[in-house]
Amino acid sequence: MMSPVRFLVLLSLLAPIAVLGQGTGAPPTPTRPSPTTPEPSTPAPATAEPSTPAPTTPEPSTPAPATAEPGTPAPTTAEPAPSAAAKDQGPMAGWTPRKVTPAQEKQGQQQIMALLKKMEQASQKGELDAAVALVDFPVLMLTDTKAGEGVGGPWNEEQWRKMMEPVYGKPMKGLKMTHSPKIFLVTDALATVDDSWTMTMGKKKTTGRSALLLVRKGGDWKVKAMVEGGWGDMPGVGEGKRAPAGSDTGTK
């Protein structure tokens, strides 16, 4: 068995011979390469073949908005149709009746009683102009005939003056009137007065009923209609020359 020292000596002698042998064409002595980590080879870039695109399904196209032709009105958004209930009510759908509060009732009663008192005083003193100031013209004058037919119509200030001159033109001596008015406020601007009155002239006493329709304008109550029966057959009533007996409706 060869010792390691002798092996190394022999190896050193053979090395030059191997070098000389390479120069003379002798085959070189194979040497054992030291193990190394192989470097990764870079693959040559492959020439990409032109790819054929896969057939695609065309997406549905969105039609472009059409341009309105000149003179064609643009479409408008329709307003919501009224409900069936509103159609059934007609003009009543938007109507709300006004209410009368307790405070308005109390104030209205007081103001109307003051108006009736002024009318009575104008009659007692014969102040026609004062009575005219309490009326809202044209005023509706209504009465009836013996046959029970209602008659009347609107009167202007001139007609009313002629009609009421016997009552308000001069003081009526010996005339006494008592009234029992019943005031009803429809609203704080509309009211009615139903009156049962008694007229005494000397020994003659006459009773009857009359009514007034009142309106409030500018904060003041005024007479808009006067109603009393029995004057339709009297001459001149239709011409505004005769006055109803209870037209000075006032207070007791």
Q: What is the pLDDT of residues 29-53, one digit of tens each?
A: 444 544 444 454 554 544 545 455 5
Q: Are strands 220-228 and 204-217 parallel, antiparallel or unpaired?
A: antiparallel
What's residue 122's pLDDT? 92
**101: part of which helix (H) or strand (E)?**
none
* Cis peptide bond prior to 138, omega within 30° of 0: yes
Position 10 scores a pLDDT of 52
The reported pLDDT for the residue numbered 166 is: 85
- pLDDT at position 107, please? 97
Asked, for residue 68, whether it belongs to a domain, the answer is no
Instruction: Match 């192989």 to its residue by tokens.
Output: 38
> Which structural domain, as residue segments, surrounds residue 138?
102-239
| Residue ranges in the chain modelled with pLDDT below 70 | 1-87, 236-252
pLDDT value for 19: 42
Q: How many domains does the chain have?
A: 1
155 within some domain = yes
Q: Does residue 169 fall inside a structural domain? A: yes
Q: What's the pLDDT at 159?
A: 92
- Give all strands (DSSP E) within the chain, no chain letters: 135-144, 150-155, 175-185, 190-201, 204-217, 220-228
Read out DSSP for 43-63?
Answer: PPPPPPPPP-PPP-PPPPPPP
Q: Residue 196: its pLDDT value, please?
A: 97
Alpha carbon distance, N-terminus to C-terminus of the chain: 168
- Domain membership of residue 159 (yes or no) is yes
Domain of 119: which CATH number? 3.10.450.50
Q: What is the pLDDT of residues 1-30, one digit of tens each?
A: 555 555 554 555 554 444 444 444 444 444
Q: Indicate whether 191 belongs to any domain.
A: yes
Q: What is the pLDDT of residue 86?
A: 59
Would 205 be classed as within a structural domain?
Answer: yes
Strands of 150-155's sheet in order across? 150-155, 135-144, 220-228, 204-217, 190-201, 175-185
Which pTM was predicted?
Answer: 0.60
Q: Tell me if 44 is assigned to some domain.
A: no
Asked if residue 163 is part of any domain, the answer here is yes
